[in-house]
A and B are shown apart, each in its own frame.
Chain A
Amino acid sequence: MEKKIYESAEIKIVLLNRDMLITSGGSLGENEWDEFNFNQLG
């Protein structure tokens, strides 16, 4: 568990759960894209 704190004069945010942050997956191959179907737009 890692904590990261950002500060400003007005607001103070503590991101408590580092595991929920996005991660870098390095290189994304041609066929590795996250896909979704047009029909999901409704």
Chain B
Amino acid sequence: MHNNAKRRGLSFLLILAMLFVSVAVMLPVATSADPVEFADFGVQKLAALNLAGDEDTDLRFVFTVGSLDYTEVGFVFSKTNAAPTVGGDACYKMPVTVVHTQIVADGNTLTADPGRYWVAVKMTDIPHSYFDGALYVRPFVTDGLGTRYADAALTSVCDAAGHVHTIDEFEHERTGGTAALDVAGTIVGNCPGCNLEVTFNDVKAGVEYQKWIGGGGQARMYDRRQISDILAGGKHFYPDASNGGLGNDLVVEYSILWNETLLNLSADYNDGARLLTTFDTTNGGFSGEYRAIAYASLTNNVKDSGANFAGAFEYPSGLIQTSEPGDPHPGMTAGGGAYSDYANVGGTDRDHPEWGWHRIGVIYHEDVTNLNAVKGGAAATYKLTVSIYIDGVLVSILSGDHLDRGNADYKLFTATCDGNGGVTYEDIDEDIWVFAFLVHYVTAPTADAWFADGDVFVTAGHDFVHPVTRIANPAARTETVGGQDFNGAFYYTSAGAHDHVWGSLVNDASHAADCGHAATQSIHCTICGAVKPDSTVNLPIDPSLHNWGVTPVRIQEPTLLEDGIDRYTCTVCSATDDRAVSYEHSVQIFTTSTSGAYSPNGATVGSIRGSKHFYDEGNDLMVEFSILWNESLTHLRDDNSDNYKPYMDSRFATNAAGTSGNNNIVYWSLTGNIKGSDCKFPGGFEWGGIAGDPGDNPYPRFAGAYNDITAYPNLGGYNNGDGTAQVNDLYGWHRVSIRYHEEVTNVAAVKSGSAASYLNEMWVYIDGDLVLHTAETKAISKQLFTATGGGGSITYTENDSYYFHGAFLNSTRMKTGTGYFEIADYSATIGSDFVQNVRRVNNPTPTTLEVENGVFIPSTMWYELDN
């Protein structure tokens, strides 16, 4: 039964998208005939449910019982009681006495498990307004023992639909809440998915932005409301009992991220770099009969505008009738000179703009100035007043008797005589749009510009939804808008009245004082960011505090003998700091199963020679590297088969890997007794690569080099293959230097048309001592260059595309044990000098290198620089 119920519940979930966990409650009722009284408890929405559009809907509720031995089964519901019971407070019982082996639920046919029966009811006509309302639901069974319940579940139509509320953080139509841009709180607004008003807690208001592309244009930015929305809930602008006879003002408030990119906007008045609070008959802004009540300039020196600098507010020229339009407009009644001398959002000091978040408030107030006369039948006269706030500070009051221009007169209300000694008021047409702000068509900014706003409200009342207090010296803050970072300091707080809570001393700017910047530190209020009086500490430029970049430039590579140099550069003052960087070992480990391969710095002949020529006298191929000779290498496989090649070589090849068309110029053995090789002891060098003439052993041209092991301190110093120990057991670092020379020996003949003959000559040095010198007039198959001629001239063709690998190890592996192998300080250059001019050290201080945990190999330096 238990297993059946489980499986049943699962399939049911799949079919009906059940939201409740299917429960199989084993109640401690030993006498019940039903060991699993509740199972398959679920709710089902209508498949066709449209959360946003349906006026009402139904929900089905089901569970199964495993017996018919009940007098009644069913559900109890409550909107408010979290644990509904039969007869409980605010509970509704929906009983059934007929249960079913099979049900058809919104088109799905569901068969109960054998021995179980569906208890099925349908709640109808749940209104849209309650789609997110709580429904506590509880299955019950009643028999002679009494009534028992499954655990109550909480659902709603939204839940049953699997709907998660969202709110567009840029949704300016949100209805309220306390969340602001600067203070987390609640946001109340309409969820677009269900059209219900929902509340989100602990969130901040969102930022909306518009980016104008430099050189482009014709994009607008606005936030608009219709009068019908502003007056929703039976409000009126005109005085009546609903507002205590005081009437209501039109209250507009929004935040703007004032930033330097706005100065990229065109200064031409007609290019729209103005920020307007305006009315319009259409939602297009400026497309119907528009009338602005406040202007602010977004950029400097707006042409034809009284707003001469960024952030300045201007009397909306021509909109409030005055007799003396001028500049500055005399219609500004407060403070005289208000427009040019107040804290504009761009900054009171125009050389030091206060980039960051500022809050603009506009209150549009209306009075009837001749009310008694109106009662007597006279036409009303009006006084319209616009009060403009920045960061909570009243910066401008504009007033006049009516909005001018055109046929639209956007008074908040009108007053006429009612014919009985009273007044009839009428609100502004509810279809009119109010643009909290509108940036008209902006054209051709000189560079990209961002406009960011947030926290917008347009209401009917007397107070701002988010009244704010100015902060003179706010904490530094970065706002990222559209991928761009801006100074996002809040020059206001909406935290409301509070006792400041002082934090610790912090940097005011994003950086502390350093080699290029003085700085200040101060103590800020942790609630609103205000600076504690007298807390500011001035930090002068400190030449010792540099900002070193994280990525140094490698000035000199480290070698086994000398540290390298990494140069760090101060990002502020460009001072440099050279730091030693030591050589990093990279030891390869071979095993009996792991082949090792090594091919460092394979480079083309062309890249090695650069602009020089190998056919010029004195320019040879100079190859050099260091090898960590150690006893473990003598345990490499010593059979020179295709699979195991325990020798290294210097070779030309036609591919970067060094494996195709290769032609060796010298071999050297890593182990002893290489089968088929003349390198009979580790470290022995053998001329390689001569085409043909392989027969002599030893090669006569070796001049005794290879078999006189006492005369030539080879790298291995191990044995000569017959068990005789070599005298030079010189494990440690050795320096191999190879000079490879090529020349045409019959230049005159070539110039007369003969084929060229070549001399290849090679010198091999170990630790600065010459150990092998060969010369061969028979060409190897890969050459640095070839020569052709005739008619008195000779032409050299350099084989620039050949790759040269000076220290090439093909696949090899250990015959026994583990091998350690490292090549260091490799270079292949053109010229006549080695990069490292070294000399032998006869009695070096023994050193070791740890290559694995606890495994040390001798790393004694057998050479030193010979400078």
Contact = CB atoms under 8 A, between A and B. Distances in A.
Nearest to A17: B71
Contacts of A13: 31, 143-145
Most chain A C-beta atoms within 10 Å of own C-beta, residue among B92, B126, B144: B144
Given A8-B30, A13-B145, A27-B101, 15 more contacts: A4-B33, A6-B31, A6-B33, A8-B31, A10-B30, A11-B145, A14-B144, A22-B117, A25-B99, A28-B118, A29-B104, A30-B104, A34-B96, A36-B122, A36-B123
B117 A24 contact: yes
B121 A35 contact: yes
Interface string A1-28: 0001011111111110000111111111
B867 interface: no
Contact of A30 (B79, B106, B121): B106
A42 B144 contact: no
9 contacts: A11-B145, A15-B144, A22-B71, A22-B72, A23-B97, A24-B100, A40-B92, A41-B77, A42-B90
B341 to A, nearest CB: 63
Nearest to A26: B101
Interface residues of B, number: 47
Contacts of A25: 98-100
Interface of A: 4, 6-15, 20-30, 33-42
A3 to B, nearest CB: 12
Contact of B124 (A6, A24, A37): A37
Contacts of B31: 6-8, 11-13
A20 B102 CA distance: 22
B92 A41 contact: yes
Nearest to B75: A36
B73 interface: yes
A36 B96 CA distance: 11
Contact of A37 (B32, B102, B117, B125): B125
B102 A27 contact: yes
B753 to A, nearest CB: 106
A4 B102 contact: no
A4 B69 contact: yes
B127 interface: yes
Given A25-B100, A39-B125, A20 B71 contact: yes
A38 B57 CA distance: 10
B121 A33 contact: yes
B79 A42 contact: yes
Contacts of B30: 8-11
Closest 5 CB pairs of A and B: A25-B98, A28-B100, A33-B122, A27-B102, A28-B103
B143 A34 contact: no
Nearest to A9: B30
Contacts of A23: 68, 97-99
Contacts of A14: 144
Interface in B24-75: 30-33, 56, 58, 60, 65, 68-73
Given A6-B32, A15-B143, A22-B99, A38 B105 contact: no
B78 interface: yes
A30 B105 contact: yes
Contacts of A35: 58, 121-124
B198 interface: no
B160 to A, nearest CB: 13
Interface string B86-121: 000010101011111111111100000000011011
B58 to A, nearest CB: 8
A21 B100 contact: no
A36 B124 CA distance: 6
A22 B68 contact: yes
B90 A22 contact: no
Given A13-B145, A21-B69, A27 B103 contact: yes
Contacts of B106: 30
Most chain A C-beta atoms within 10 Å of own C-beta, residue among B65, B71, B72: B71
B70 A22 contact: yes
A24 B99 contact: yes
B123 A26 contact: no
B127 A38 contact: yes
A8 to B, nearest CB: 4
A11 B256 CA distance: 76
Contact of B107 (A9, A22, A30, A41): A30
A26 B102 CA distance: 6
Given A10-B30, A37-B125, A22 B96 contact: yes
A33 B60 contact: yes
A6 to B, nearest CB: 5
